[in-house]
Structure 1
């Protein structure tokens, strides 16, 4: 793993949601690197940054829509002042960084150690030896093996932490003020003026002062984290046990309609609501219907060919034929821009992708049928 990727992963861990109870905002979609662009150019960086900013703005807009505060009554200034005093005590400067140290200090080092090549999985990937075999080795031996691949891995981990730490500290400092402001408004709405005064009186005492300095960090205390993690398996088991019933309950509702299911009358109503020409919707519907029919025919054709040959041979042949066809297509279009899918119309691209998917599904279905036939034969044959 490259140093940059490891740093990025470590930074992601550090800036993850700070409490288990926090409401998660939608994650902005990662902007994929343009394979044709120069990732080191200023223009590329500016474009990527603009795309990411757009995604973040959309995510923020969605959160603002989910938690709309525009209809809330104004906050009494005197009460807000008391709440700001409360938050000044509960979220003092540096409190988020203290929590991060408590929660992620060991975690980051552990993650970097795993990614650095000492884990069973990473050593298995690097050497090709089964992870079960590597698991039999003691810790010093695994460390020696990892050092053979990267004699500087410890220094590399320390370097990542050294480079990341100032950035994380700066980011957390930037987060503290808006967090204090938001919490102050929430407290001002939830607590009365006398209640806020009582809170501030308590926080000014020696006990209150200690509580204020530790309450946030304690949420990420190792004992709390371990207890929460130990509570997860029963929760997962509960969902697994109830899986069949949940699946049954979810199937009781009819499936969502697709555009291909709409009648002309329904399309007319939809077009009126959307204020578009009904022909636009009809063309789209007919295109989807055509693609569905072609995909079904392609799947039937591939499946039918399986009846003419042994299932094993046919499955391999079908997969090889599809691969060969794609390879031939790539070779033929190496110098012809007409083969570049980015130059195709949306309708053509959707139709080709639908047929490609149908062909792949047919090959997978044939393979599944082969293994099922083998298992059925084994049950019938004498031991």
Structure 2
């Protein structure tokens, strides 16, 4: 399994749980040495290391470019391959008009009226994906900063050090060369 999507998913899913976690003061941990703003710089530095691993720069771009086209194609095909009559039920369309639609799908109807429909949808998907990548890439530093602040407030320096020791790759043992 690719680490990046899993790590991003973990970070996103963990954020609400961390926000609800008791602070060191609420736990009775007076040794947390938080500054006036509530975040000890040493804890923040350790939290930034954790977030760099869980949510590295470029995570959104890799996720969006890796899966957005497939996801959008799937959504479009699921939505547009349904029979038009089934889709229109409940939208105030009279029964006679629904009956007249038969089993034709939205896709069938659009292709009949616009032979370039699929091409237009592919272009639209590409434009939307590119714009979403730009938007999410612009938001990513603020999200990473927020996650680091949450981790720094919710975990002690020792807990962050344990996480980092677990997450970060271990340095290779030096090779002993005998001559």
TM-score by structure 1 length? Answer: 0.30
Shift of 1:113: 3.9
Name whichever of 95-104 and 185-194 sits farther off: 95-104
Structure 1 residue 204 corresponds to structure 2 residue 178 = no
When residues 124 and 77 of structure 1 are mapped into structure 2, their CA distance, relative to the original with a 3 A threshold, is: closer
2-structure distance, mates of 1:199, 1:151: 55
Deviation readout 1:276-316 (Å, 9 max, x if unpaired): xxxxxxxxxxxxxxxxxxxxxxxxxxxxxxxxxxxxxxxxx
Q: Do structure 1's residue 156 and structure 2's residue 125 form an aligned pair?
A: no
Q: Runs of 5+ in structure 2 lacking a partner? A: 1-10, 17-35, 89-95, 171-179
Cα separation, partners in 2 of 1:74 and 1:143, compared to 1, 3 Å: closer
Partner of 1:291: none
Provide the residue aligned with 1:170 in structure 2: 134
2:28 matched residue in structure 1: none
8 Å CA contact 2:50, 2:160 repeated in 1: yes
Flag structure 1 segments of 5+ consecutive residues without an equivalent: 1-17, 24-71, 207-383
Between the aligned partners of 1:204 and 1:106, the Cα distance in structure 2 is 32
Question: What is the aligned counterpart of 2:97 among 123, 128, 148?
Answer: 128
Q: Which residue of 1 aligns with 2:46?
A: 82
Residue 185 of structure 1, CA deviation: 0.8
Number of residue pairs matched by the alignment: 134
1:214-257: per-residue Cα shift (whole Å, max 9, x none)?
xxxxxxxxxxxxxxxxxxxxxxxxxxxxxxxxxxxxxxxxxxxx
SS at match of 1:119: coil
Q: In 1, Cα distance between the equivalents of 2:128 and 2:108?
A: 27
Q: Does 1:192 align with 2:161?
A: no
Query: Partner of 1:128: helix, strand, or coil?
Result: helix
Q: Are the equivalent residues in 1 in contact too, given 2:51–2:148 (CA < 8 A)?
A: yes
Measure the CA separation in 2 of the matches of 1:201 and 1:21.
19
Q: Is this contact kept in 2: 1:82–1:197, CA < 8 A?
A: yes
Which structure is higher in helix share?
Answer: 1
Paired residues of 1:114 and 1:122 also in contact (CA < 8 A): no
Distance change >3 Å, CA 79–CA 121, structure 1 → 2 = same
Residues of 1 paired with 2:15 and 2:147: CA distance? 12
After superposition, the Cα gap between the structure-2 partners of 1:158 and 1:169, relative to the gap in structure 1 and judged at 3 Å, is same
CA distance in 2, matches of 1:121, 1:97: 35
C-alpha contact 2:69 2:125 (8 A) present in aligned 1:
no
Q: Deviations over 1:322-358 (max 9, x none)?
A: xxxxxxxxxxxxxxxxxxxxxxxxxxxxxxxxxxxxx
Q: RMSD between aligned alpha carbons?
A: 3.6
TM-score computed with the length of structure 2 as normaliser: 0.58
Q: 1:201, 1:165 → 2: CA distance?
A: 36
1:158 deviates by 0.8
Q: Distance in 2 between matches of 1:22 and 1:104?
A: 23
Give the alignment of 1:16-95 within 5 angstroms.
73-95=37-59
CA offset digits 1:145-165 (Å, max 9, x no partner):
542122111101111022122
